[in-house]
Amino acid sequence: MRIIVTGGAGFIGSALCRFLIGETEHSILNLDKLTYAGTLESLRSIANSPRYRFVRADICDRPTIEAIFSDYRPDAVAHLAAESHVDRSITASSAFVDTNIVGTLNLLEASRRWARACAAGAEGFRFIHVSTDEVYGSLSASGRFCEDTPYRPNSPYAATKASADHLVAAWHATYGLPTIITNCSNNYGPYHFPEKLIPLSILNALEGKPIAIYGDGLQIRDWLHVEDHARALRHILRLGRPGRKYNIGGDNERSNGEVVRTICDCLDRLLPLKTSYRALMTHVADRPGHDRRYAIDATRVREELGWQPGISFEEGIEATVRWYLDNEWWWGPLRRRYSGERLGLIDAPA
């Protein structure tokens, strides 16, 4: 297949590109704007593959997107390009509306025009929209999100992703575009921009800086290793049913405080100091509208498509800590873009 991966220089997108080039015979066009969180260094290992190509473009630029589709003639689109950090969405929501909603609309329209002419025909074309469990809102102490859970987004980020999900579903129902929506839980692993909880905690610890814990630290997330996510997306590309939704989760519920303690304990073993890294943990004011708990029911993707997560949280988090210890060449330049200051404080209109 010839696959356009949008946002392929980001965290999950680059993992998908590396997986598809390394483990399949597919050809990939990585379409990325290269915003602050995107870096081609994440694609260094596949940059010289004859099956890999990069184009710098903004999905909000419809004429350029249309031209790329006509030139590349894709059989599928894996749409991962998005503004994705909740903290940034609190104070800069307009960028999230532009990219996550308008950008998705542009890709759907380009796909609708192209699908009829692609090599596999309109029925063989696939548009995979990679979304988030945050569209479902917050859970109480019990229960899990399933594909039929009502949408109740609580942040500007989640609201824009929910809007995009509805567009994708509508383009299938109205125009017959073969779309599939995936909603994943929190990803972690290598090549993760250091503004998110796990990489930020690792790097702050290495630099002896406070490790911020929002509120009481008891917010619970279901953690999914990014390489398991990439494998799930391949299953969905091959076997997923158009018009269907698939929730992808790692079945690894951990509180934010527990995640940070696990990171500190890994560092205590791998790079010990006179005192534990836990001494750097610092509770700060909570994020506005912070959801309390997410948990994914991934029964559908497991039973229908045969996917299973293969990396336990304990194995994955230690491997992630080791990766950051060994790869300053990658995160050092990004750390100069964002050094770890608090984001998402409400101090000005968006």
**Residue 134 designated active-site:** yes
> How far is it, in rounded angstroms, from Cα 177 to Cα 192?
32
Distances (CA, A) of 285 to 1, 109, 214, 251: 48, 42, 6, 28
CA distances from 288 to 217, 341, 344 (A): 14, 17, 8
3-state secondary structure of 161: helix
CA distance 271 to 104: 43
Task: Give every CB contact of residue 310 below 8 A, 6+ residues apart in sequence.
Answer: 228, 231
Q: State residue 16 phi and psi, 5-degree precision.
A: -65, -45
Catalytic residue among 133, 165, 227, 291: 133
Beta strands in the chain, from DSSP E residues, in sequence order: 2-6, 27-32, 52-56, 76-79, 126-132, 179-184, 186-188, 211-214, 220-225, 245-248, 253-255, 281-284
Among residues 136, 157, 214, 277, the one annotated as catalytic is 157
Q: Determine the residue type at 178.
A: P
157 is known as an active-site residue: yes
Catalytic residue among 58, 83, 87, 134: 134
Q: Angle at the Cα of 332 (from 81 to 55), degrees rounded to 5?
A: 30
What residues act catalytically?
Answer: 133-134, 157
